[in-house]
Amino acid sequence: MRSSMVRTLALSVAAVGFLAALPSLAVATANEPELEIDLELGQRLHRQCALCHGQFSQGILGGKYPRLAGQHDYYLLKSLVDYRDGNREHAAMVVVGGMRGLSDSDLASLAAYIAAIDLDEVHPLIVPTPEGADVDNGSSLYRSDCRTCHGREAEGNPRRESPRLSGQYDGYLFRQIEKFKAGQRVHANDPEDETFAAYSDQQILDIVGFLTTLDDKD
């Protein structure tokens, strides 16, 4: 699956209210096969996801299972395809989620459904800041090294196909950063990036601490 298909899906669910009113929506480009987005199908498929990620894809406090709700559809779709095709490894995602037998359209429908979940409405979260984090230093480091790809408020960037980081649990963020440092994951738009390798443990703690403050509600 090429990135153009993922970007096209992002445009298709920009107006969630409109999409929700339709039984399905066909998505296609000149070079990609047609994908049909069916939110009712996405909701049914999500029942398997909910076994680990929660009824509203809110994840589990501490980050054993990450928050998915409100994540960008293009990133969710890419991740789902990568898990299904073996490009990312997680036994529960493949076995419990039954992903091996799902088509691209199935996964696109699931991604669209999860992206449309508004946790502020259905399951408000309070994401704690890890103890010992210097949030001000984390803000400085984030804005220096991370903002260009992940956005000013860690909201993600469709043009770079980067995920939303705000509102994510610290435990999950720590695990993923360790995978990047170990070379088990790479940034899709910059596979040679070694930013994390230069950070101390305290600097990583500070960045993660800062990220946990970005989804706070007054």
Q: Write out the binding residues.
A: 49, 52-53, 93, 146, 149-150
Burial class (CB in 10 A: 0-12, 13-18, 19+), 134: middle
The C-alpha angle 16, 21, 24, rounded to 5 degrees, equals 90
Of 83, 72, 138, the residue nearest 111 (C-alpha): 72
Residues annotated in the binding site for heme c, as ranges?
A: 49, 52-53, 93, 146, 149-150
Tokens of 107: 């996964």
The C-alpha angle 164, 167, 173, rounded to 5 degrees, equals 75
Cα 18 from Cα 198, distance rounded (Å): 45
Alpha helices in 119-169 (DSSP H): 119-122, 135-145, 147-150
The amino acid at 114: I
Burial class (CB in 10 A: 0-12, 13-18, 19+), 190: exposed
